[in-house]
Amino acid sequence: MVDFSFSEEQKLFQKSLREWCQKELPLEKIREMDSKGEISRGIIKGMTDMNLLLMTVPQEHGGAEVDWITACIAAEELGYADLSIAVPVLFLVETSWGFVMDKYCTEQVREEIIRKAIKGDAFIGIASTESGGGSDVAAIKSTGRKEGNSWILNGEKTYISGTEEAKKMGGGYFLLVRTAPPIPEASHKGITAFYLPINADGVEIGKRLEDMGRMAISTGSIAMDNVKIPDSYRIGEEGRGFYLTMEGFDNARLLIGATCLGASQRALEIGMEYIKERKAFGSPIGKFEGIQFDLADLWAELEALRSLVYRTAWMNEEKYRNKRFTPHEVSKYISAIKLKVPPFAFKVFEHVMLWLGAWGYTKECPLEMGLRGIMSYYIGAEGAVNIQRIIIARELLGREYIPYK
């Protein structure tokens, strides 16, 4: 038999997080953070108290060591609360990239960033994308050159989440650079991952980009001019950075799916409340089939995607804990999530805004924040939609069908 219910511990966690969010992240506060362009320090501290930061990291490294289903519950609750999607971004970027960094880094890096980030005293992000493009990770141009027991880093990363937060909180990035020339037919080899401290000599943070959404968390660029770091900042083996990055992307994409479920659920609830009250032509508009059929379709799709997200979270957990599924097998499902859930969430916001009429177009209504925030995941943060299609087709047809090989 299959049991789809959460464990007692997971239910308890969900309840206490919902209560914390109701108290600490009411929609007025979300609006305030969206206008101010920053997540308040108190929220980050509160997230620490709730053991949310890097929550899947093993206890012996200072984390809460929760399973990936619990991490998805957290992402869903934060998405439900913060419709602007900024707090969920902070949560999921740190959880997914902090997990991978912790798994492969040295004890020194753990001391310098992982343990601090768990306490909310440092930020961890991912620095992969460059101005030349983000989808083709193997084409990055930034370099790392070995010099004795150190590495000299050069290049520029852009569209990087959390640059202002890293400046304020300290910490740094899971950085990807090329350390060996590309091998023909295997350009993803020769890429290595490092911990890049934000305050290292030669690191310059560029001007904050003016995004359209998730305003309370920044995006910016990072320039590296002969940045010297010790070999102990290398994450994983030389030349394995591409694979580690794919692992981080998978975890991030899973949490993005859960976040989008939460935001969609909230948008539907806001919509349902409205269509029961709002009258037109003598009836609540929720009585009109044109509206209620739309609601039914969205709800059905939401539940189908929720099943996909949590089943995949279970697979991810089994992959790590019991080696039951191969990473590629899990990636196929995770890419299905990244392909389907953010566009679905965008559709929910769009449709519910239509039910709300003119009110939906104002900033008195929280839905426009969601539409702007969700778009970041739809457009490409942690991977564009066509890249998910390539991954799924690769797993279905075989590697010989990868279009660019």
Ligand X SMILES: Cc1cc2nc3c(=O)[nH]c(=O)nc-3n(C[C@H](O)[C@H](O)[C@H](O)COP(=O)(O)OP(=O)(O)OC[C@H]3O[C@@H](n4cnc5c(N)ncnc54)[C@H](O)[C@@H]3O)c2cc1C
Residues that bind ligand X (CB under 6 A): 125-129, 133-135, 159-161, 211, 219, 376, 379-381, 383-387, 390, 403-404
Instruction: Give the integer Cα–Cα distance in Å for 332 and 398.
Output: 12
Nearer to ligand X, 247 or 294 (CB): 247
Sequence-distant (≥ 6) Cβ neighbours of residue 247 within 8 angstroms: 100, 327
- CB of 285: closest distance to ligand X in angstroms? 34
Nearer to ligand X, 67 or 130 (CB): 130
Nearer to ligand X, 66 or 92 (CB): 92
Nearer to ligand X, 209 or 304 (CB): 209
- CB of 293: closest distance to ligand X in angstroms? 31
Mind giving me the DSSP string for 321-379? HH--S-HHHHHHHHHHHHHHHHHHHHHHHHHHHHHTGGGGGSTTSTHHHHHHHHHHHHH
Sequence-distant (≥ 6) Cβ neighbours of residue 62 within 8 angstroms: 110, 114, 115, 118, 119
Q: What are phi and psi of 272, to 5 degrees?
A: -65, -40
Nearer to ligand X, 244 or 268 (CB): 244
The residue whose Cβ lies closest to ligand X is 134
Instruction: Give the integer Cα–Cα distance in Å for 259 and 334.
Output: 14
Nearer to ligand X, 63 or 383 (CB): 383
- CB of 158: closest distance to ligand X in angstroms? 8
- CB of 377: closest distance to ligand X in angstroms? 8
Asked if residues 284 and 272 have their Cβ atoms less than 8 Å apart, the reply is no
Nearer to ligand X, 13 or 194 (CB): 194
- CB of 384: closest distance to ligand X in angstroms? 3
User: Which amino acid would we find at residue 249?
Assistant: F
- CB of 320: closest distance to ligand X in angstroms? 23
- CB of 387: closest distance to ligand X in angstroms? 6
Q: Where are the beta strands (DSSP E) in 6-118?
A: none
Instruction: Give the integer Cα–Cα distance in Å for 369 and 211.
Output: 12
**Using only C-alpha atoms, what is the Rg of the chain?**
21
How many CB atoms are closer than 10 A to CB 60?
A: 8
